[in-house]
Structure formats: C-alpha cells, structure tokens
Structure 1
C-alpha cells in the first residue's frame, strides 16, 4: 500500500470518478465528494479532509484536480479552503464569475479534463512543486578572444562592451565560462539582463543557447534569441528527452554603441503560469533591465487579517524565501524577493520602482479589504531593510525583523576591514545605486534610509526587533533605530532581544525569536491561535 501512495502525483476531487478518466490512474488518487456533504457542516467536513491531507507527508504538497462538485456551487465559500493547494480545474464545468475570480487570485490552472495530453503536460511542466533556477553573474562571463572593442566591468553589477559593429556580419562578444546542468523533460525561462546605449536595430544583438548532451561534447539543440523574443518572463526552451548542460553566448551583427550585460537568469518554467512558483510575478524598473526586477507572490490564505508581508533575505538562488513559513501562519501573505545583483539589492531603486513596491503591498491589502493597521511587515537580514524602509509608506500594525540592516553604506565599507570578503554584494549595491564606492557615497546611502524613515508617521506601529549585539554588518542598526523611534514617539512599543555574536552567528536563535514575535502579534492583535512551531 505504501508503494501505491508514493505514486500519487495528483488528488482528484469530485462527485463523479468518470470525470477523471483521462488521468493516469497509477499517478493519482480519487476522493469522492458525492456523499461527503450529506446533511450539514460542509465547511467542517471539507476542513477535516484537508487537514488530514496536510498531515500526510505524501499528500500535503500534491496538486488537486477539481472536478464538478454540486455542493461547491451551493456554497462557493468552500473553494476558499483550497487556496493552500496547487489547483487545476476542469474548464468544461460551469464556473460562476465569483469562483473564476477566486481561481484567478490563487493562480489555479485551467485544463480540459477530456484532453489527456493537456492533463499530462500540465502535471509534468506547469504544477511542479519546488522552485528551481540559477543566475549567471558577470563573474561567470568571459570575453571572446576575437572581440577587439572596449570592455569595462562594474563590480558584479554588469559587464560593459563598446564597439562599432556595423562592419561585422556577426561577432561573438562573450560567453559563459561554465556549463550548467538541466534535467530532461523540463522547460526553462532564459532571461538576460541587458541595456543598450547607441544605435542598434532590434535584431542586432542576440543570444545563443547550446544544449550539450550529458556525458558528451555533442550539441544536440541550439536556440537563437533576439531582443523581440525576450519578454518579462524570458525566452522559454525545453531540454527534450535527454539530460543536458547549458552553454550560452552573446553575439552582435550590426550597430554601434555600448551593451551593458548584468545577470542571466535561468528558471524552471511554469509556461506562462507564474515566475518561479505558480502565480509568481514581478515588478520591473521601466528605465533599465540590468538590476531591474523584483519578484512577488500573493496568497489570500484564509482571507482574514492580517496581511503578512515578508521580504526575502540575501539569496543567490533564484526564487522566494519563506513560502512554507507564511503558509503555516494561515493568514494572507505577500512574498517579495529581490532578484537583482548576486543575491539582492536591498529593494532600493529609482522612485518608479520603489513606488511599485509600495503599490504592490497596498493593492494586496485592498484586494482583501484590509486597512493599514491590518498589515504586518517582516523580514530577516536584507529583508529587514525593506520592512523598515517601506514602513513609513504603509504604516503597518507591526514590523517584525531579525538581524536588522539599515546603514547599507556602512555595510559596504565594513567589507574592507571588519568583514573582508564576506559580503561583497554590499559594494555592488553601493556602486549600483550611488554610481561609485567611496566614503561620501556610503554616507549618502545611509542618509537615504534615515531621511525616509524619519519622515514617516509610525507612532501606532509596534516594532519587534531581534538583533546581534556584535553585528559586523551594521553594528549601529539597533541602537540607532531605538533612539530614533523613542525620540519621536516616547510611548512607541519596541519589543527587542539581543543575541551575542556577529551577523551570521546564531541564526537559529534569531529565527526562533522572529517566530515568537510573529505568534505574539497574531494572537494578541488578531485573535489567532499561537503556534510554537511553524511548519
């Protein structure tokens, strides 16, 4: 029986098993609802089933194929209990406008249940669970020996190449040093960050993807990608039926000017159904593509306050941080992840991009009908900066942070003596935002935070701060925050705890304190049951 359970790839939920006849019976399990809702207490009965699935490690992350259920039409509120799950639904069924709006909100995937091929493709290529991807930085780039133009490097932010390409038919300018493994039967989004200055036609600059069969040097597939084929999600390609290694290069066949190349993002694709995870999306800097993308994902949870906003910390892997943690809290949540530079750029940018971050949070709150005092801002390490930086714009009920960083200029300068070669991304952030690395630019970057933070009205916001007493990233963060808040608002609530050690010491203690603070605000301000441990 255990071996049979391990084959489960999808849960089929509906009144009639025949509706799921095109699903692979060896990779699915059917739960009949035809007699489930006899009598009263529909909500409680469905809740009990879902809890049993959540407690079963073999079922908790399995997608649900939702068929025709008569009781759901009578009680549309039942749909809301399914938001924790990845959901696909039958497009042949009669779906109300209200239910369709909910499906759109939770990124449910429409599928024709009479189409066996569509079902297989959806389960294999769209609703896979784990986020997967990597980024290729300027460190991974080498200039082609035949390129004779000017090359400049701006830290790990970008590589700049300048030349007159008008006399060339096609010139390889650069390539990635290392090849990267991609498994068979998978699709990927290829998204290079590049900006151009000068006179180039739309197809003058193009990239090539070479797929090399595992264990050989044989190139089994090549993709040529021009600017018009790269949208906000990137260019989609598949690996076919063999494991491969990816190699990539950039070419220019005409024009004159400068090309700035930043990160190249390679992400397992959900085929237009989300970035990194189903329903994932991004806000983008309209003025530049290099270091111009911030990812986000919204989940309505149980539709009850508060809205928990969580900013990811420094992350070299592509994707989001904290999804399971936020799911475990039950309430609506918004994940925001900075995909720029090597592992994030502290969520700062030009006014347009920063306004989009603020509007993103307000839009999620409005969609739930919440007020600003029903929003919690939170984050760890790099995520603490954004939670505090945008707090004056949101005026949340609480800010919950662990290992706060606010003086990013100091964080950069500490790389030289206090913390050599530990966090060089801070130097890239300073270079990217201020245009140079210097004492003066670092002081201006510090001032940027304090000018915004001190301009806000935060007298009704509670602050929960867990910090390292010997922080070698930003040693002044907590005392300066405490002093600034108490000076302006003597009665402001600041619940804090210090831990002995440097920034990257005792992460487990900081995280445990972070959870306790979250549970406190959820229980005392919103009447939610406190949890000792978030799954």
Structure 2
C-alpha cells in the first residue's frame, strides 16, 4: 500500500467534507494560531525551528488567519516550493509576499474548496512519467507522393505532394497502454521546412482487448507551435495509437520525437514547477528546468541531468540535500535521452537567461553559482560556464567532444552508444569526420572564451574513457595554459566511461560537500 501524502491545513476551521479529496492524501487540520514551537499535537512539522524533512511531500493549505502567513516568515520559507496554497484574501506583508513568490505558492479561493481539492488531486498525486514513440516503428502510408528519408532516430523527412484534404502520411506501429483515469498529455517535435503544408495529429484511444475506438483526440500543428497542452483521459484502460495527417501542396516536413507524458493540473512539465525551453528554430525540441528557491540563501546550485531515456528530471533528492539551499535541475528529453543541451543560438541563450533570471530573483551574484553534472550533464555545466562565470563547476566523467564520441562508435566502442551518431546528425545534418570535428570545435571555441579567473573546477574522470578519452587532458590544458588563475581539483579513476560510476559519484558528492562548506558555510545533508 502506497504511503499517503500529508495534506496539512492551517486555518480557522477544520474542513469536514472531504469527499472530493483523493484517498492518496491524509488530511490534518491545525488552528491558524498553532504554536509550532510548543507543538501541542506533537506533529513535529518543525524540530527546534527546522523543517522536518519527513514532510517534504506534504501539501500545505494556508487560510487567511494562518499565523505562518503573518509573523513567521522564518518558518514559511522552509516549506517546500510549489506545495503551498494560500488564501487569496490573506493580508500579507511585503516580505511574506516575496517569500510566496519565490516559493511559487498558489493563491486559492477558500470558498471553492471542491475546486481546490480537484487541483490538489491532479497536481500532487502524479509521479513524473513519460516516453517516446519509437522511430523504429514508423509506417509511411503507401500512397504518399514523394520521397522519404529516415535520418537514424534524429528525425524522418518527407518531401513531396500532399493532398488538398487532410490525409494520413505517418503512423506509429505500436500500442502503449494508458490505465483508466490517467491524465496524459501529448507533444511532438516537428517542423515544416518549406511549402504550404498543414499538419494534424490524431490520437486514437482503443479500449483494452477490443477494437473499439472510444475517443479520437486531434492535435493541430498550430496548437503545438503555441505550446498549448493537449490532455486526454478515459475511464477504462486504453491502447494509444498515433497518426500524422497532412494537407496542402508540395513541401518538406521533418518529424522527430513524439512524446506521451502524464499531465499535471497546471502548465507544469513532469513535476510541479517543471518548466521548459523550446528551440523554435530546430524542430521545437525542448529542455526542461525546475527551480527551487530553497532557503533563499547562496549558493544557487544547478545540476544538468545525465543521459536519460526515461523522460523527466534526475537528481532532485540529491540537490535537495545541499543544505537546504536554492537549486535548479535541467534535463534534456530530445533524441533517445538527450542532446547535450545544444541547439540554436537563441535556444542556448534562453538557457543562460533562465539561470541569470533566477540569480536576479534571489538577489545573488554569479559568484553565488555552482554548475554541476555527470556524464552528459558535464557538457552542459562546462559549455554554459563560459557565459556565467560561476563560483564552481563540479563534474564527473567529463564529455566535451561529441563528434569524437560518435566516431568512437565504429571501432573503439561498437554498438555501445549508437545514439551518438544521431546526435552528430541532429546537430550538423551530416555524418562525416569533418562534421564531427566541427562539432568538437563548437565546444572548445565557446569554452576557451570563458573567464574562469574566480572559478574552481572539480573534475573526476575515467583514465580509459571509451567515450571521450581526451576530454580531461584538453580541459586541463585550456584551464592552466589560457586561464592560469582557475583552480582545478581532479581525480582519475581506472576504467572506461561506465566502469566505476560509484567511485565517480562519491568523489562528486565529496567536492560538493567541501565547496558548500568552505565557500558558503553550508553543511550538506547525508546522501547515499
């Protein structure tokens, strides 16, 4: 039996009608003037003034008379971000308002508790989950009048003549089961490169173990372009089938990944507070980010996810253990499990701008910033360090030469990471040695231009790395020859890229612990 989520209500009156509350929650009422220091009911929400982390998943409903909204900003700031709902008519000081904004708290109408509970049910019971429809199962309709080019798993390109009425051009020959009452959302990466072509996805929901189509959901191309959510659900288990329709004259289209994900009540992606940046210049590919203001004190620690076929964020529990400070997770759901955070110039600038915006929101300087990551995440941390002048860059198993990683697939690491070839083609439009070298140089041109005079680099690497053996020596040379005042801490472990992840992770966390303590006087929580 799943452990219930605590629903803590602090207000004038206890809510007695809880029929609208999901059975996933355990409701607990506390009077508005409840004294958490005396803690008469011994709930242990705060222990010696510190938030009890066993309530980290709890959802808090704060009535207009909740004392924590009037004179307890020190306690309020410790409540988990995105999980605070407060009365819209509460009389708030400017300081309390600032905390609520940073915590992304949600104002509610307490007279409409049935709607509030519906939101709570749909927002906080969903665990992040999502998948892509496999490009290996794409079927092109036989009557399509044109040419088809399948570019690995990067995308499929259709060029030719399209009918004046919507006609099916692609379908995905696979059936994934959606359980009854699961709310799902749909997104696709695609582009019309030329011609007057209109596109329409149709999602067919077929009742399990039958051929009965219970619903057809239509998703126009314009809706995807506007980043509007499409949500669908059924009261019975259903298989999902997806097809793409097109109409117009001659033209060229590209279709990359098609995503099916669990939906939340608001615009969040994957988890409450999850947001995304869209590469409008290249197939509308996405990067997710999640910002948590923590205790509002430096540093802001950013973690770039490693390669992750399962859609969503990684490292949330780890980053929550960084002494309670602000943190950000960044994840890349493109291709099989990521595209190393690269994209168009505008897209990459958006990633930088989001980080700078959060620093400004917190009132921090660039010297209050830590960038970090493991494996694929090291590329993001290093690549954007040149724009951000961070206090520290903490990485394990660095990868810098994406082109080399792809070239190593042929002899050094056959069939070890075939998606590296997709990355090469996705980013350059070619699969050649020249394209690989150009992609490598894109990183080094950017990295070498950075100012790291006040930055500490902590790097753990594998000595026989079969993905990118030269990454660490090249990084070391650039940092010491061209930026001699940069501090470089490093440790090499024997083995190939994936031979000793445990050792790499331990050193990574050790460096985080040391930098947090020595630079910011923070004590990192125990994390295993």
Give the TM-score taking structure 2 as reference length: 0.91
Distance in 1 of aligned mates of 2:241 and 2:21: 35
| Deviation, structure 1 residue 534 | 2.1
Gaps of 5+ in 2: none
Match of 1:54 in 2: 53
The 8 Å contact of residues 392 and 452 in structure 1, kept in 2 or not, is answered as yes
Mind listing any 5+ residue stretches in structure 1 that lack a counterpart? none
Q: Distance in 2 between matches of 1:243 and 1:98?
A: 48
* Partner residue of 1:366 out of 360, 374, 396: 360
In the alignment, which residue of structure 1 is the partner of 2:35?
37
* 2:118 maps to 1:124: no
| 2:476 is aligned with 1:482 | yes
Question: Relative to structure 1, is the Cα distance of residues 32 and 298 closer, same or farther in structure 2, using a 3 angstrom cutoff?
Answer: same
Work out the CA distance in 2 between the residues paired with 1:448 and 1:423. Answer: 21
Task: State the Cα RMSD in Å.
Answer: 2.6
Match of 2:286 among 288, 293, 296: 293
Contact 1:274 1:280 in 2 (8 A): yes
Q: How does 1:492-531 map to 2 (within 5 A)?
A: 492-531=486-525
- How do 1:127-526 residues align onto structure 2 when only pairs under 5 Å count? 127-166=124-163, 168-200=164-196, 204-231=198-225, 233-290=227-284, 292-329=285-322, 330-526=324-520
SS at match of 1:197: strand
After superposing the two structures, state which structure 1 stretch, 314-323 or 237-246, moved more.
237-246
Which sits farther off after the overlay, 125-134 or 386-395?
125-134
Deviation sequence 1:199-251 (CA, Å, 0-9, x none): 336xx321100112223232211112212333554542222211222110001
Name the SS of the counterpart of 2:354 in structure 1: helix
Moved more, 461-470 or 277-286: 277-286
Is the CA contact (8 Å cut-off) linking 2:81 and 2:105 kept in structure 1?
no
Counterparts of 1:335 and 1:261, CA distance in 2: 27
- What is the deviation of 1:427? 1.4
CA distance in 2, matches of 1:126, 1:335: 19
Cα shift readout 1:334-362 (whole Å, capped 9, x = no counterpart):
11111222211111122111111111111
Q: What do residues 128-173 of structure 1 show as CA deviations (whole Å, max 9, x unaligned)?
A: 352111122422322123324211112211111122124x433211
Q: Cα deviations across residues 399-438 of structure 1 (Å, max 9, x unaligned)?
A: 0000000111111100111111121222122112222111
Q: Does the 8 A contact of 2:87 with 2:109 survive in 1?
A: yes
Task: Report SS of the residue matched to 1:103.
Answer: helix
Distance 1:34 1:353, change over 3 A: closer
Task: State the SS of the aligned residue for 1:82.
Answer: coil
CA separation in 2, counterparts of 1:432 and 1:280? Answer: 25
Q: In the superposition, relative to structure 1, how do residues 357 and 20 fare at CA in structure 2: closer, same or farther (>3 Å)?
A: farther
Q: Deviations over 1:423-475 (max 9, x none)?
A: 12221221122221111111111111111111111122111111111100001
SS of structure 2 residue aligned to 1:18: coil
CA offset at residue 92 of structure 1? 4.9
1:38 Cα offset (Å): 8.1
Q: Secondary structure at the match of 1:325?
A: helix
**Cα contact 1:389–1:452 (8 A) shared by 2:** yes
State the distance in 1 between where 2:50 and 2:81 align. Answer: 11
1:253/1:456 CA distance change after superposition, 3 Å:
closer
Whether the 8 Å contact between 2:7 and 2:28 is mirrored in structure 1 is yes
Alpha-carbon deviation of 1:12?
2.1
Separation of aligned partners in 1, 2:238 and 2:92: 42
Question: Which has the larger helix fraction?
Answer: 1
Change (3 A) 1:110 1:184: farther
Q: Using the alignment, how far apart are the partners of 2:456 and 2:507 within structure 1?
A: 15
Distance 1:441 1:24 in 2: 56
**Per-residue deviation at 1:120?**
3.5
Under a length normalisation based on structure 1, what TM-score does the superposition of the two structures give?
0.90
Following the alignment from structure 1 to structure 2, what is the Cα–Cα distance between the partners of residues 182 and 21? Answer: 31
Structure-2 change in CA distance of 1:152 and 1:101 (3 Å): farther
Q: Aligned partners of 1:25 and 1:221: how far apart in 2? A: 26
Aligned: 1:114 with 2:111 = yes
**Distance in structure 2 (CA, Å) of the matches to 1:215 and 1:328:** 45
Structure 1's 509 and 317: CA in aligned 2 closer, same or farther, altered over 3 A?
Answer: same
Q: Cα–Cα, structure 1 residues 501 and 286, in superposed 2: closer, same or farther, change >3 Å?
A: same
Are the counterparts in 2 of residues 211 and 239 from structure 1 also a CA contact under 8 Å? no
Give the Å deviation of 1:18: 2.6
Shift of 1:83: 2.8
Secondary structure of the residue aligned to 2:503 is: helix
Judging changes above 3 Å, is the alpha-carbon distance between structure 1 residues 448 and 118 closer, same or farther for their aligned structure 2 residues? same
Instruction: Report the more deviating stretch, 347-356 or 408-417.
Output: 347-356
